[in-house]
Amino acid sequence: MGKWMNRQSLVTILGVLLIYGIVQGSIFMDVMPPFVALTLIQICIYVILSSSLNLINGITGQFSIGHAGFMAIGGYFAAIVIVKFHGPLVLALLVGAIVSAVAGFLIGLPTLRLNGDYLAIATLGLGEIVRIIFLNTEYVGGASGFSVPKTINWTWAFGLTVLSILVMRNFINSTHGRACISVRENEIAADAMGINTTKYKIIAFTLGAFFAGLAGGIYANYMYIIQPMTFSFLKSFDILVMVVLGGLGSLTGSIVGAIVMTVASAALAGLPEWRLVITAVLLVAMMIFRPTGLLGTKEFSLSFLGKKGDKNAASKN
Amino acid sequence: MPLLKIENLSKSFGGLKAVSNLNIEINDKELIGLIGPNGAGKTTVFNLLTGVYDKSEGNITFGDKNLSGLKPYQVTHRGMARTFQNIRLFSDLSVIDNVKIAYHQRTSYSMASAIFRLPGYYSGEAEMERKALELLKIFHLEDKAQETAKNLPYGEQRRLEIARALATEPKLLLLDEPAAGMNPQETQDLMNLIRWIREQFKLAILLIEHDMSLVMGVCERIYVLDYGMIIAQGAPDEIKSNPKVIEAYLGEEVV
């Protein structure tokens, strides 16, 4: 079992438990301000969203900007299971994520033949189409929104986030993840080395859509109400900004990006008219001084704690 | 039976016939050269073989299977691997990851074992690591396994590209100008390496090259391509004295 328990993963596990414990403790003792609790759940949701978009944009190099559409699919289908069929929360989240993944697969088949700007435009359009379909569907409340009981708490949100990150990390640090990275690095060479590039693009897209759907489900079951306006292309851009800020291709970067942007927008909630200006200035400054994002394609690593890092975490690129 | 049989292969780009009525046969473990002036269509032949281009006419048989309509990754799976004229490494990845990616198609484990970290993941990764290091050792790159590929010197990048192609475990290796940009000493080393690869990995090699000392020194048979057509074929000595070849390279004598 030496593979599982090196010092680095032990520290990571302890850190994760500590964060969970501190937050859960302060919620339990009722010292957590509701605004902070909301921000923490939002961080969880955005961490899942940005790291799953990173799987498509950063790891596989396919520029997609319709992530809010998949979030909407997951959110609405999870809500339907809860409200209309009175299903359990786990089933609702799973249905939302799976429907979103299926949608991602079906959308990916034709659109992933495009590349660069064309793929970006196609995914942007698809995100809007999804939103407009929900907007015009009376079954889910149309423009006025869809009320959903609040069943998500910190334990659920945090647990699902950790699980999602773990699955994505394991995917990226495997031969399948390397295949996706090779598509990003040089598609012609990847093809010549026997990688089925179309297959791996679609796998990344489907997996990304799955987790976006899961995040949407968490969102729907926490916010009391979901409205089509929430899932506009501005949401897609928010997620994209987090990915780019953290560094395209870095999973830990996406986590950092999501935390920084969510905290920043929460801190600037008092001056809403300046919020977008300040984030825009931040982004411009970053594009000038650090165009690769905070972490580039590197992963934040605790390797300074132990002599040797996780040997199996192969592509620490 | 030949390993590779190209019959009446043609490729047109609009009105331009890049390759016409090409016939080439390669037997097991043969070392064949494909030469010709710039723009003769040599790289087009490689692209047709590996499925990058669809052929206009003709037949390509590899082993006992027809290669028509296959995508490049499927051709690689059948046992044909290539290098590129302008190096195409995964330049931001480590040297060993470059090789591991090429092992993907032969030694893969399921996605489920990757995500749930089942025993298959650990044994699969360990096997890839071992094979990749072995291969790098052959190419004297094992010390640089963790180096980023783009930071290697040019000659080592060329060697890594050949190593990566070999990791797909081919029966036929296509080398597109392996000596481009090398000095005479490096070219000499490359010649020895090519011969040695053929013996060690027991495969056939088809190489495109402009460096005549390399082609003449290492190839058993040579095909000469000019304007998309084979104008001569045979042993190096025959090619050297073939008037058509001299004409194609040096032009006609003006009396």
Ranges of each domain in chain A: 33-232
Q: Are the beta carbons of B115 and A170 separated by less than 8 Å?
A: yes
pLDDT the model gives residue B108: 82
How far apart (Å, rounded) are the C-alpha atoms in residues A36 and B54? Answer: 60
Mean pLDDT of the region B169-197: 91
Residue A304's pLDDT band, with cuts at 50, 70 and 90, is: low
**Residues of B with Cβ-Cβ distance to A195 under 8 angstroms:** 73, 101, 104-105
Check whether residue B110 and residue B151 sit in a common domain: yes
**Which residue in chain B is spatially nearest to A314 when comparing CA positions?**
B97
Mean pLDDT of the region B168-175: 95
How far apart (Å, rounded) are the C-alpha atoms in residues A32 and B17? Answer: 75
Check whether residue B115 and residue B97 sit in a common domain: yes
Does residue A2 have a pLDDT over 80? no
Length of chain A in terms of residues written = 317
Q: Are the beta carbons of A3 and B122 separated by less than 8 Å?
A: yes
Q: Are the beta carbons of A167 and B115 separated by less than 8 Å?
A: yes
Cβ count within 10 A of residue A259: 18
A232 touches chain B (CB under 8 A): no
Check whether residue B154 and residue B211 sit in a common domain: no
Q: What is the CATH number of the domain that holds B249?
A: 3.40.50.300
Q: Which amino acid is at B255?
A: V
**Residues of B with Cβ-Cβ distance to A314 under 8 angstroms:** 97, 100, 125, 129
- Within a domain: B165: yes
Q: How far is A65 from chain B (nearest CA, A)?
A: 24
pLDDT the model gives residue A300: 79
How far apart (Å, rounded) are the C-alpha atoms in residues A98 and A299? Answer: 29
From the list B52, B97, B168, which residue is nearest A194 (CB)? Answer: B168
- Within a domain: B57: yes
From the list A193, A314, A317, which residue is nearest B102 (CB)? Answer: A193
**Domain interval for residue B148:** 90-169
Residues B83-124: tens digit of each pLDDT: 999 999 999 999 999 999 999 998 889 999 999 999 999 999
Check whether residue B22 and residue B51 sit in a common domain: yes
How far apart (Å, rounded) are the C-alpha atoms in residues A134 and A240? Answer: 22
Check whether residue B71 and residue B114 sit in a common domain: no
pLDDT the model gives residue A307: 44
Three-state DSSP class for A226?
A: strand
pLDDT the model gives residue B38: 87
Check whether residue B159 and residue B203 sit in a common domain: no
How far apart (Å, rounded) are the C-alpha atoms in residues A19 and B227? Answer: 69
**Residues of B with Cβ-Cβ distance to A182 under 8 angstroms:** 90, 93, 101
Q: Quote the ipTM score.
A: 0.91
Q: Are the beta carbons of A192 and B88 separated by less than 8 Å?
A: yes
Instruction: Evaluate whether A248 touches A89 at the Cβ level (below 8 Å).
Output: no
Residue A312's pLDDT band, with cuts at 50, 70 and 90, is: very low
Structurally, how many domains does chain B consist of? 2
- Within a domain: B97: yes
Mean pLDDT of the region B188-204: 92
Q: How far is B104 from chain A (nearest CA, A)?
A: 6
- Within a domain: B120: yes
Residues A51-67: tens digit of each pLDDT: 999 999 999 999 999 99
Of chain A, the percentage scoring pLDDT greater than 70 comes to 93
Q: Starting from the edge strand earliest in sequence, which strands make up the sheet with B204-208, in order?
A: B80-82, B172-176, B204-208, B31-35, B221-226, B229-234
From the list A167, A181, A312, which residue is nearest B125 (CB)? Answer: A312
**Residues of B with Cβ-Cβ distance to A177 under 8 angstroms:** 114
Check whether residue B72 and residue B182 sit in a common domain: yes
**Residues of A with Cβ-Cβ distance to B106 under 8 angstroms:** 194
Q: Are the beta carbons of A175 and B114 separated by less than 8 Å?
A: yes
Q: Are the beta carbons of B82 and A181 separated by less than 8 Å?
A: no
Check whether residue B96 and residue B147 sit in a common domain: yes
Chain B interface residues facing chain A, Cβ-Cβ under 8 Å? 50, 52, 71-73, 76-77, 81-82, 84, 88-94, 97, 100-109, 111, 114-117, 121-122, 124-125, 128-129, 164-165, 167-168
pLDDT the model gives residue B30: 93
B141, two tokens: 């790159």
- Within a domain: B33: yes
Cβ count within 10 A of residue A113: 12
- Within a domain: B84: no
Of chain A, the percentage scoring pLDDT greater than 90 comes to 71
How far apart (Å, rounded) are the C-alpha atoms in residues B141 and B152? Answer: 10
Residues 160 to 219 of A: which have CB under 8 A from any B CB? 167, 170-171, 174-179, 181-182, 185-186, 188-197, 203
A6 touches chain B (CB under 8 A): no
Check whether residue B38 and residue B144 sit in a common domain: no
Mean pLDDT of the region A178-201: 95
How far apart (Å, rounded) are the C-alpha atoms in residues A162 and A145? Answer: 29
- Within a domain: B54: yes
Does residue A310 have a pLDDT over 60? no
Check whether residue B61 and residue B117 sit in a common domain: no
Check whether residue B109 and residue B215 sit in a common domain: no
Instruction: Evaluate whether B94 touches B129 at the Cβ level (below 8 Å).
Output: no
Residues B29-65: tens digit of each pLDDT: 999 999 998 888 999 999 999 999 999 999 999 988 8
**Which residue in chain B is spatially nearest to A3 when comparing CA positions?**
B122
Q: Are the beta carbons of B90 and A297 separated by less than 8 Å?
A: no
How far apart (Å, rounded) are the C-alpha atoms in residues A88 and B17? Answer: 66
Does residue A313 have a pLDDT over 80? no
Mean pLDDT of the region A209-228: 96
